[in-house]
C-alpha cells in the first residue's frame, strides 16, 4: 500500500513539472536503461581495445558534450518544432525560395516539417520536409547559430546584432551557455519570444550558469519606487 502511494505521488509530481523537467525525467530513464544494457559490452570493448584514451585537446575541440547535444536535440524536436520551422524559414534558403516560388501561386512551396539532427559549434543541422507542387521531399538545411534573416524574410522577422563573445565570456565560458545565448537571439529574431525562457531553463538543466537570465536583484519597476 505504501509503495502504491509513493508511485501515485511521483506521477502527480511528474504531471506538474515543467516541459523541460518532465522531458528530462523520461529522457534520463531511457538513458539509464541504455547504459545498463550496454555496460557489460562496453567493459569488454574497453578491456580489449588498443585505442588510446581521448586526450584533453580532443575533448576541448568539441562544442557541447554528447549527452548535452543528444538531450537538446530530442527536447527541441519534441517541444519546439514550430521554432525550428521558423528558423528554417527565417535563416535559410528555404525562406527565400518560398517567397519567390509562392509569388505567383501561393502554397506551391511549403515547409511541412523541420527536424533537428545535429548541433555544431557554428550551426544547427535541420532536416526539412518540403512540399512543392504536391510532392514532398527532404533536404538538409544548415542554420548558422549567428544567422540574421535572409533577404526575402527581413520584413517578416527581426535583425539583431550577433552575441558578443567577450561579454558572454565574462559571465560564463561554458559552451552550453554560449549555445543558449545564441539560441535566444535566434528565437527573438524569429519572434518566438515564448521559447526564450525555455532555452535558458534548458541550459541551466544541462549544467549552464543561466546566461541571459535576469538577476534576482534587478528591480525592473524601480521608478518611481526604490528599494533601499
pLDDT (tens digit, 9 = 90+) per residue, 148-163? 999 999 999 999 999 9
Cα gap 114→52, rounded to integer Å: 38
**Does the pTM exceed 0.85?**
no
pLDDT tens for the chain, 228 residues: list them. Answer: 544 444 434 443 344 445 676 666 665 654 554 444 334 434 333 433 343 344 333 334 579 999 999 999 999 999 999 999 999 999 999 999 999 888 887 788 999 999 999 999 999 999 999 999 889 999 999 999 999 999 999 999 999 999 988 888 887 889 999 999 999 999 999 999 999 999 999 999 999 987 655 555 545 555 554 545
Helix (H) or strand (E) holding 5: helix 2-16
pLDDT of amino acid 168: 80
Euclidean distance between CA atoms 210 and 14, whole angstroms: 23
Alpha helices in 49-145 (DSSP H): 56-61, 66-79, 81-91, 93-101
> Three-class SS of residue 113?
strand
CA Rg, the chain, in Å? 22
Instruction: Report the relative pairing of strands 135-144 and 123-132 from DSSP bridges.
Output: antiparallel
CB atoms within 10 A of CB 123: 16
Nearest to 202 by CA among 83, 115, 74: 74
Q: Where are the beta strands (DSSP E) in the chain?
A: 109-119, 123-132, 135-144
Amino acid at each position: 500500500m505504501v509503495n502504491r502511494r509513493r508511485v501515485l505521488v511521483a506521477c502527480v509530481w511528474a504531471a506538474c513539472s515543467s516541459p523541460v523537467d518532465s522531458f528530462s525525467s523520461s529522457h534520463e530513464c531511457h538513458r539509464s536503461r541504455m547504459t545498463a544494457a550496454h555496460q557489460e559490452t562496453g567493459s569488454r570493448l574497453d578491456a580489449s581495445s588498443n585505442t588510446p584514451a581521448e586526450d584533453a585537446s580532443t575533448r576541448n575541440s568539441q562544442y557541447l558534450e554528447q549527452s548535452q547535444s543528444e538531450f537538446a536535440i530530442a527536447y527541441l524536436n519534441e517541444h519546439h518544432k514550430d521554432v525550428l520551422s521558423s528558423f528554417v524559414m527565417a535563416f535559410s534558403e528555404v525562406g527565400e525560395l518560398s517567397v519567390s516560388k509562392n509569388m505567383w501561386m501561393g502554397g506551391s512551396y511549403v515547409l511541412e516539417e523541420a527536424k533537428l539532427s545535429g548541433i555544431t559549434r557554428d550551426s544547427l543541422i535541420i532536416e526539412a520536409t518540403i512540399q512543392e507542387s504536391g510532392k514532398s521531399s527532404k533536404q538538409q538545411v544548415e542554420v548558422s547559430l549567428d544567422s540574421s534573416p535572409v533577404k526575402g524574410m527581413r520584413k517578416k522577422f527581426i535583425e539583431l546584432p550577433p552575441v558578443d563573445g567577450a561579454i558572454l565570456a565574462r559571465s560564463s565560458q561554458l559552451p552550453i551557455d554560449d549555445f543558449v545565448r545564441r539560441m535566444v537571439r535566434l528565437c527573438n529574431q524569429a519572434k518566438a519570444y515564448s521559447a526564450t525562457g525555455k532555452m535558458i531553463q534548458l541550459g541551466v538543466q544541462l549544467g549552464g550558469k543561466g546566461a541571459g537570465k535576469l538577476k534576482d536583484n534587478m528591480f525592473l519597476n524601480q521608478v518611481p519606487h526604490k528599494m533601499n
